Amino acid sequence: MVKVVERTATKVIEQLAASVHKKRIGILGGTFNPPHLGHLIMADQVMAQLGLDRVLFMPDANPPHVDRKFAIDANDRVKMVSATIAGNPNFGLELAEVQRGGISYTYDTMLSLKQKHPENDYYFIIGGDMVAYLPKWHRIDDLVKLVQFVGVRRDDYPVTSKYPVLWVDIPRIDISSTMIRSKIKQGQSIKYFVTDGVAKYIKEHQLYRE
């Protein structure tokens, strides 16, 4: 009996030790078509306010949107994300969805990541406007068991949800990929909307001209 109790106690201690040493990893998913400074500000603010160890930028392959967005080739988007986060050791690139291809369902991705990296706790970052759509997400009731959702507050959207969401306040930055694509098409400047590396890549590859 004593040995059984000792083994049980040892197991509990090991489990507690594992949970204490788990890394807190933020996931910022998106089409990144193209990535811009608003993405960087969001990632940095969430990381700082929640004390995350890292934030991984995760480009999707084919977003399962009802109104499917036009997205350029995933390879171009990955290279632009790499250029965007270059120089910040706290940011990283997660290629799970691009490498898998097909429709990018968050549940499938996070299940795979949790299985590969049980040492991590994941915080999935979304804009306040996306929180209202959570009930429509694929297998959302199972997904909330895999990740902690983090909602970035927006003045024109409520901060309520039937799902557990951590809310974070950040300065409102009215920059969007749609706006940037429009400016490029019209021949306008995108300086200070994207990093120099992204601006250079877009120019060299003649992206978003049509």
How would residue 78 be classed by pLDDT, with cut points 50, 70 and 90?
A: very high
Using the Cα atoms of residue 195, residue 157, residue 44 and residue 22 in order, give the sign of their dihedral: negative
Q: What percent of the chain has pLDDT over 70?
A: 87
pLDDT, tens only, 110-167: 999 999 999 999 999 999 889 999 999 999 999 999 999 999 998 777 788 999 999 9
3 state SS of 19? helix
Q: What is the pLDDT at residue 159?
A: 81
Q: What is the pLDDT at residue 67?
A: 46
Q: What percent of the chain has pLDDT over 90?
A: 73
Q: Which domains does the chain have, with CATH numbers?
A: 22-176 (3.40.50.620)
User: Which residues lie below 8 Å from residue 156, measured CB to CB, with a gap of 6+?
Assistant: none
Q: What is the pLDDT at residue 173?
A: 85
pLDDT, tens only, 174-196: 899 999 999 999 999 999 999 99
